[in-house]
């Protein structure tokens, strides 16, 4: 087996597992920020990625499965309970997926989520968030169930050979892996072998909600874009103008730019760049024809921090304002620099 463990700085783990005879490989729990790394590692190892596999619907990071699947034209494997529209191969407990000569043995292990599964390949098992080093996945997020987790652990996963290496989807220490035997011996949660007590323990953990929970669920369930992806895509389609350059043009007395403030009226009234007109972002599409009659005008869009203006500029370009550009940064840094503002309406 050719094996690469890829860790992100947040402790998320993904794995590139390949068959040395056939050169076919699978990426387990791909992360959106590591796309280029998977492709590079696969190329360096003489592997071709044939499958992507998500062990469950992640609530705490952004799956790369659908984006990478589209790029590589390979199927996404998930458990049949997954609600994602991007699953090409739905699998269930007891099934085997062949990656070259490697056999991916699927264990359905609900508990962390209803669609959680573990993948047993030769001497190791990829446990997703079902079993972690010294811990287990939480069961308080959507579709989680502590009783199911107990059954999945004690009646299925922990019955594997104690020597089996465990590679989870998250590692919060500097260890690379653990084993089934080591976890049975040392994992505090696994010492609670009474089902009701296990459920009570899991329900009393009082964990904080993961950062980006809603966004991760929204994008992983639907396959749609993260906010960062939307901003990145918008920024690639537009050009920017520095604040120094804008100031120079205003002070020249004959500015060849039209400044457009897309913040709310209240912010505009408190102070805007001299000469700027106001169209709040929410009204942009509806009012643009009345307020910006010249589609060839060089419109410089700004907002408070530079994000809304990036999206608004991309919208203007889409609408035919082909010279719309965004001010670099936002009004906040304009004010920090002590640049002039106006309150005249």
Contacting range for Fe ion; rule: CB under 5 A; set: 51-59, 87-95, 149-157, 329-337: 51-59
Nearer to Fe ion, 55 or 315 (CB): 55
Contacting range for Fe ion; rule: CB under 5 A; set: 122-130, 179-187, 281-289, 331-339: 122-130
Give least dist CB 56 to Fe ion, A: 6
Q: Does 31 bind Fe ion (CB under 5 A)?
A: no
Give least dist CB 173 to Fe ion, A: 17
Nearer to Fe ion, 132 or 199 (CB): 132
| Gyration radius of the chain's alpha carbons | 26
Residue showing tokens 């990145």: 232
Give least dist CB 219 to Fe ion, A: 14
Nearer to Fe ion, 58 or 263 (CB): 58
Nearer to Fe ion, 213 or 291 (CB): 213
Give least dist CB 170 to Fe ion, A: 7
Give least dist CB 60 to Fe ion, A: 6
Contacting range for Fe ion; rule: CB under 5 A; set: 8-16, 35-43, 50-58, 87-95: 50-58
Run of H or E including 310: helix 308-318
Nearer to Fe ion, 58 or 79 (CB): 58
Site for Fe ion in 56-115 (CB under 5 A): 58
Residue showing tokens 């929410």: 282
Strands 76-79 and 89-91: parallel
Give least dist CB 112 to Fe ion, A: 6
Nearer to Fe ion, 31 or 129 (CB): 129
Q: For residues 135 and 186, is the Cβ–Cβ distance under 8 A?
A: no
3-state SS, residue 190: helix
Residue 202 and residue 127: Cα distance in Å, rounded? 18
Residue 101 and residue 24: Cα distance in Å, rounded? 9
Nearer to Fe ion, 63 or 179 (CB): 63
Closest CB to Fe ion: residue number = 129
Give least dist CB 129 to Fe ion, A: 4
| Residue 268 dihedral angles phi and psi, to the nearest 5° | -60, -45
Backbone dihedral region for residue 164 (phi beyond 0: left; psi -120 to 50: alpha; all else: beta): beta
Give the distance, in angstroms, between the CA of residue 174 and the centroid of all CA atoms in the same chain: 23
Nearer to Fe ion, 11 or 295 (CB): 11
Q: Does 129 bind Fe ion (CB under 5 A)?
A: yes
Contacting range for Fe ion; rule: CB under 5 A; set: 28-36, 126-134, 195-203, 325-333: 126-134
- Per the DSSP assignment, residues forming a β-bridge with 166 are 125, 178
Nearer to Fe ion, 66 or 129 (CB): 129
Give least dist CB 106 to Fe ion, A: 17
Give least dist CB 117 to Fe ion, A: 12
Closest CA to 291 of 317, 316, 327: 316
Residue 242 and residue 225: Cα distance in Å, rounded? 28
Kindly list the distances between the CA atom of residue 207 and the CA atoms of 47, 153, 168, 204, 220, in Å, as whole numbers in the listed order: 40, 21, 19, 9, 22
| Residue 236 dihedral angles phi and psi, to the nearest 5° | -75, -20
Task: Give percent helix, percent strand, percent coil of the chain, each to the nearest 5.
Answer: 35, 25, 40
Size of the site for Fe ion (CB under 5 A): 2
What does the binding site for Fe ion look like in residue numbers (CB under 5 A)?
A: 58, 129
């Amino acid at each position: 087996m050719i094996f690469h463990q890829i860790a992100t700085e947040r402790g998320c783990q993904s794995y590139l597992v390949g068959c040395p005879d056939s050169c076919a490989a699978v990426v387990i729990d791909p992360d959106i920020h590591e796309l280029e790394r998977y492709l590079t590692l696969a190329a360096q190892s003489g592997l071709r990625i044939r499958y992507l596999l998500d062990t469950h619907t992640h609530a705490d990071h952004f799956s790369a499965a659908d984006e990478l699947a589209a790029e590589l034209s390979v199927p996404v494997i998930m458990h049949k309970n997954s609600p994602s529209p991007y699953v090409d191969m739905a699998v269930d407990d007891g099934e085997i997926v062949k990656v070259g000569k490697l056999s991916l043995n699927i264990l359905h292990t609900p508990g962390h989520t209803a669609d959680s599964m573990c993948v047993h390949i030769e001497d190791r098992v990829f446990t997703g968030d079902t079993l972690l080093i010294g811990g287990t996945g939480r069961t308080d997020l959507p579709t989680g169930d502590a009783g199911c987790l107990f059954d999945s652990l004690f009646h299925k996963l922990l019955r594997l050979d104690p020597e089996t290496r465990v590679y989870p989807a998250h590692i919060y220490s500097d260890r690379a892996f653990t084993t089934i035997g080591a976890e049975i011996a040392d994992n505090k949660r696994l010492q609670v072998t009474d089902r009701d007590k296990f459920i009570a323990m899991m329900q009393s953990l009082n964990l904080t909600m993961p950062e980006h929970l809603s966004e991760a669920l929204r994008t992983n369930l639907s396959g749609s874009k993260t906010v960062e992806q939307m901003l990145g895509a918008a920024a690639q389609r537009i050009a920017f103008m520095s604040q120094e350059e804008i100031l120079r043009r205003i002070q020249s007395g004959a500015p060849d730019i039209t400044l457009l403030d897309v913040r709310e009226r209240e912010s505009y009234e408190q102070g805007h760049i001299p000469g700027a007109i106001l169209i709040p972002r929410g009204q942009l599409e509806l009012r643009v024809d009345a307020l910006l009659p010249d589609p060839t005008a060089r419109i410089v869009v700004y907002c408070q921090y530079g994000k809304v203006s990036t999206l608004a500029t991309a919208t203007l370009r889409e609408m035919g304002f082909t010279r719309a550009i965004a001010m670099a940064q936002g009004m906040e840094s304009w004010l920090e620099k002590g640049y002039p503002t106006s309150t005249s309406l």
